[in-house]
Amino acid sequence: MKHSAPWGKDAVAAAGQLACVLEASAEKPGNITPSHDFHDTAYEDMLRSAIAVGPELARAGRQGVGETVLGVVRASRRAGGPNTNLGIALLLAPIARAALDPRLAPQPLRDRLRSVLGALTLDDASAAYAAIRLARPGGLAEAVEHDVRAEPTIDLGEAMAQAAHRDRVASEYGTGHAVTFELGAPALRRALDDGLGTRDAIVQLHLELLAVLPDTLIVRKRGAAAAAEVTAQAAL
């Protein structure tokens, strides 16, 4: 049965682009920012990739989550940027699908999201694996225990469950994006309500999350002790 999607595709596309631009533009310590490039990735790369996200998210309601993830990674590469959007794509693709799929019952967004995450398929895994191979990330590919170089034999939800203990993005799939909805969104709203500008509020959100959730990328690259030290510093 088809229902009216509560959000329009143009609104979802614009929201995704704006979120990516603002996130990249906030001066978050340890990240690419307007004043801090990495040796292989510049702030301008983040902006190009942010704009590329929009059209792919607009299509999320009529295609699988994995296909949207792959579309975002491909669009980012066409825009001339390196891997900047894989994690963002994995987080946003199910949310965009939840917002736009007319087959979902008219429920709050998170309930719709749980329906999307509970219906992930082998095809979703195949497309997501292709995106990971194309992006060649230094983090998530190492966290996924099921070898992304081979065609998957499990659905995307199961693959993310295998990686959940080593990757924060993957862990969101098994909890209905608990960090996003229960920690991230309320923290951002508090910061904005306290009078912070949007970019400063994003920095505050970044530090609040880091203070309670060790960065799994730091764990993989530098070890648990280094991640714990960063978490302790963020809590000061």
- Give residue 35's pLDDT: 95
Nearest-angstrom CA–CA distance, 170 and 165: 8
pLDDT at 233: 82
85, 76 contact by CB (below 8 A) = yes
Dump pLDDT digits (tens) for 126-146: 999 999 989 876 555 555 555
- Tell me the pLDDT tens digit for each residue of 40-70: 889 999 999 999 999 999 999 999 999 999 9
The single-letter code of the amino acid at 19 is A
Domain locations along the chain? 9-176, 178-236
Distance CA 69, CA 120 (A): 13
Measured between alpha carbons, how far is 111 from 217 in angstroms, rounded to an integer? 29
Q: Tell me: the pLDDT tens digits for 186-231?
A: 999 999 999 999 999 999 999 999 999 877 777 767 777 877 787 8
How sure is the predictor about 26, in pLDDT bands with cuts at 50, 70 and 90? Answer: very high
Q: Of all residues in the chain, what percent carry a pLDDT higher than 90?
A: 67
What burial letters (b/e) apply to 122-154, b meaning 16+ CB within 10 Å?
A: bbbbbbbbbbbeebebebbbebbeeebeeebee
